[in-house]
Structure 1
């Protein structure tokens, strides 16, 4: 049976960590793990997903929850239609939810979770290991079983695969997953419910594999299935241009990272970087370090094995802490969880800038920041930093004997310094680094299927999170860089007000979508003293939320809002 191991890796060859592997999540198959009854229960969980896979396409992360073996002791509150909702009922429900959340916390303080939504992550990893000759040594029989499970579970009824499990079939993901099945030994006329014949028919019915986007063509060329002359290359001359020109490659976002500064845990392009290291030296340490980190990307759930682009350890930890604090439950109940999470957050801050002459490589400062996952990833993110800083500031006002010692002031100041570096002229805050390039550079986007990825952009969510963090910081440290912080907040509020849509909503880039963006924007405005009575933007935002509330009292929104840009 599979089990999740937390913060493991000490003394393993070719592994290095900046915080003793805190936040590291690795799945291990142990044939002796669990009782016969527990193994039977896991198989039932898998079977239930398979039977309902076309109705409920996203997993519930039930393998990890099953491993925690939490037994809820607080009965569920049922409220009938028209029945008055009492304070007791609401408080009981809150306490029940908080206990469940605490039960899912890992021993090192973070909250593990599945963040693998794209269906184009597994095939490139398989391709890379096949090309480098390490497929059988890295991908065990148990791994193959789970890979097959995932691919079969998420094949659409028309025979293709979507960009993600909820999406319609695309040539990109259908071609990659078909080749992956074949490479792992599934015959051309085999596969669950004739998976390969159905996939091949979908590909041919939609114009053939030659219509795959550029990223797909690259992998077809690497595998010898397509000629390199059929690819649209990124012009190498761009690297030779003077730096003052707007199209210089240094103006692009997140194209200038390297494995040495990210402990070979890279966003999206891990496998291409690993392949490049193998080409340079198949027996070199750089390639072996990549191999050692493959397990960091793998997640097991009831729908099978997924390959994550990056984990969400820090982001989930920061939001979980704030959820527990908002519950108003006593420290006797939530104190131990806060203590563990507080320690995890402090240990997960990035304590130094990228190595070497990082500015000549167009890297931005990272000292004082937090990333989306673990510090071994090393890539700074503004909203993750702001949410983590908020946690540290709030916890610094609480009894240290319960929640742990407050964060060192110099590390708090480092965090503020990073946040202050990311505001653009329009007042918005970017995600990773200052906006260097012109927006019109997006016309040279070569991905064919990602929008707005060539240059850095400002985001409502990042702007809001930074406002919230700096307003709180200003209360606790009123004299530190006072004028700069006040100026940032004023300009950031203007950005939020100017970014509002005519219907009162805000577009959210990092969640779905207008509901998500509006939630963040309203929080950012509210902490600066804006209210329904004195702020037109808040009034319009509230009206939008009231207008989109569903009959059952909640809110819901399709992922299609993201690219249609309408709810």
Structure 2
């Protein structure tokens, strides 16, 4: 039964809703103090997992494959017959080809109705020849597509000096970890051990499959140059000196081994993990070799296996979930909730990376480590977003030992980019020309500063007492001012989308002392009010990431996006506005019987237009946080948010 607000004391009803949500969130906390919730992407990760097992020639796990098959069939679209990149999303040819291939590998009859519908949709979209680069690689690994259509990335790339225009250190962390083992696979061009010999010839239209190149834009000489370079590399394939090629492959191998990251895997993300396993297999590592075995186990650790279905996660999010849930519990208050938050912070403390200079040190040598990663372990790749959120939670809880806070701040300020903002993992990772590489057709090769991550860093510094007039804060706020969209919102790189970005920046501006009289704040708050749904909630579709940046795309109200909008408006000083009251009512009316909120819509960003995430934790802790804050502010004299988030 949903909690209603039609009682004599509306705040008493909210108290009940907050208590139920906090109790349910506490019940989900692990015995050691941390939270971790499922992190679901689209069909591509479970499909690639099935294909990986067959590529390696492993014994078929019929029970597991049957569960993954049921999952893939369930999320097939009933409207366009293929698979999209998010819940209720439009048709995506690359995702659909991978899902179809995985189902066929599992044993689905190509003449089964769901396979016929999928195949018809794929062929209507240009067939398997129309897929993106990473899907072309997947097909080539099974000899189901030609390697000639894959852009050439020679392993000798790893030997180039850092000043060279194309260099691994100039790419984002996720691109580095995915690309390095791929350099070996692309050079040696292996074919899967899959004994079934299953291919997908029926997904080709008969049109000639052309090599993948970036569409030439006369304004971008880089695009034409990189396309020409790719043709040159293809023409010279096989002419590399043997010793140089061997040295390059050994360098790639050593690079991966150094960053293997135990059972958490290379980069702690599925594509890099899977590529590392295939690389080790190709280089002759036995199945029981410690390096290959631990890389293989890292992939298994991503599985979510339920009674009827199973899928593979792209990564796990325990640090992020734990830090955000701790904030929600601190907001809820009360002895038991604060104890839960303290246990979470105790779990987080030893996960701070204090002794590993990760890849970020290439750009910022001399900065001491001090960040937190997103996953259980990912020491080479801590991220600034997690670090800022953890530091703010520790400060908010009054953590006695200030060392983790001080080191987190030191590392964060050391990675501020020249334009005043912060990226997620590196400083000044903004070599835009690299997105013109034929290999980068996903447009996500870089990790430039973004408004949402920058806002979190500003929030952290402001919460710790740094004034808005300090040089680094002034530069950061000026960056945020430049990033504001004409209608008043901010782009959300890591969450969907303008609602997420606007919430993030409004919290930062409030912490830095900007009130609702500031034009930036007033425009943003007005924008949030104008996009509120008629039912009182807020929603935004992933299609808002379209290249034309036209802005917010309306969608049904979701618990997480409603909470973000409410937290943003309250940070802007609008706790008493009718829009906030209606949003709180929507959350109360949509609270489930278990005390939490459900949400199938994807509100997490992986790579805009390419990869989206459904954080199963978002509708659990963000609505609690928003309702508790509303109650707290309504009962306070100041009506002002006093923390950074």
TM-score (norm 1): 0.76
Q: Contact 2:5 / 2:14 at 8 angstroms: preserved in 1? A: no
Provide the C-alpha distance between the structure 2 equivalents of 1:309 and 1:302, rounded to a whole number of angstroms.
21
Q: Following TM superposition, by how much is the alpha carbon of 1:236 offset from its aligned partner in structure 2, in angstroms?
A: 5.0
Structure 1 unmatched runs, 5+: 1-74, 398-405, 476-481
Tell me what 1:465 maps to.
Answer: 456
Tell me what 1:79 maps to.
Answer: 5
- Alignment partner of 1:412 is 2:405: yes
Q: Following TM superposition, by how much is the alpha carbon of 1:530 offset from its aligned partner in structure 2, in angstroms?
A: 0.7
Tell me what 1:557 maps to.
Answer: 540
Please show how residues 396-435 of structure 1 align to structure 2 within 5 Å: 396=398, 406-407=400-401, 409-435=402-428
1:186 corresponds to which of 96, 103, 108: 108
Provide the C-alpha distance between the structure 2 equivalents of 1:365 and 1:142, rounded to a whole number of angstroms.
49
Q: Contact 1:265 / 1:377 at 8 angstroms: preserved in 2? A: no
Please show how residues 227-266 of structure 1 align to structure 2 within 5 Å: 227-234=146-153, 238-239=157-158, 241-254=160-173, 255-257=175-177, 258=256, 260-261=258-259, 262-263=261-262, 264-266=265-267
Deviations 1:494-521, CA, capped at 9 Å, x for gaps: 1111111111111111111111110010
Tell me what 2:213 maps to.
Answer: none
Q: Following TM superposition, by how much is the alpha carbon of 1:166 offset from its aligned partner in structure 2, in angstroms?
A: 2.8
Greater displacement, 141-150 / 409-418: 409-418
Q: Contact 1:522 / 1:538 at 8 angstroms: preserved in 2? A: yes
Provide the C-alpha distance between the structure 1 equivalents of 2:37 and 2:121, rounded to a whole number of angstroms.
33
Please show how residues 311-322 of structure 1 align to structure 2 within 5 Å: 311-322=316-327
- Alignment partner of 1:285 is 2:290: yes
Flag the 1:156–1:436 CA change in 2: closer, same or farther, 3 A.
Answer: closer
- Count of aligned pairs between the two proteins: 463
Q: Following TM superposition, by how much is the alpha carbon of 1:240 offset from its aligned partner in structure 2, in angstroms?
A: 5.2
Greater displacement, 318-327 / 228-237: 228-237
Deviations 1:285-337, CA, capped at 9 Å, x for gaps: 2211112222321124688322111111111111111111112x321x31331
2:94 corresponds to which of 172, 197, 205: 172
1:507 corresponds to which of 481, 491, 495: 491
Provide the C-alpha distance between the structure 1 equivalents of 2:304 and 2:128, rounded to a whole number of angstroms.
29
Structure 2 unmatched runs, 5+: 178-255, 553-645
- Alignment partner of 1:441 is 2:434: yes
Q: Contact 2:83 / 2:92 at 8 angstroms: preserved in 1? A: yes
Tell me what 1:18 maps to.
Answer: none
Provide the C-alpha distance between the structure 1 equivalents of 2:396 and 2:342, rounded to a whole number of angstroms.
12
SS in 1 for 2:310: strand
Tell me what 2:447 maps to.
Answer: 456
Q: Following TM superposition, by how much is the alpha carbon of 1:146 offset from its aligned partner in structure 2, in angstroms?
A: 1.7
When the two chains are superposed, the root-mean-square deviation of aligned CA atoms in Å is 2.7
TM-score (norm 2): 0.67
SS in 2 for 1:306: strand
Tell me what 1:114 maps to.
Answer: 38
Q: Contact 1:281 / 1:287 at 8 angstroms: preserved in 2? A: no
Provide the C-alpha distance between the structure 1 equivalents of 2:23 and 2:463, rounded to a whole number of angstroms.
28
Flag the 1:500–1:361 CA change in 2: closer, same or farther, 3 A.
Answer: closer
2:57 corresponds to which of 133, 143, 167: 133
Tell me what 1:271 maps to.
Answer: 274
Please show how residues 157-168 of structure 1 align to structure 2 within 5 Å: 157=78, 158-168=80-90
Tell me what 1:326 maps to.
Answer: 331
Tell me what 1:346 maps to.
Answer: 349
Provide the C-alpha distance between the structure 1 equivalents of 2:543 and 2:143, rounded to a whole number of angstroms.
35
Flag the 1:445–1:370 CA change in 2: closer, same or farther, 3 A.
Answer: farther
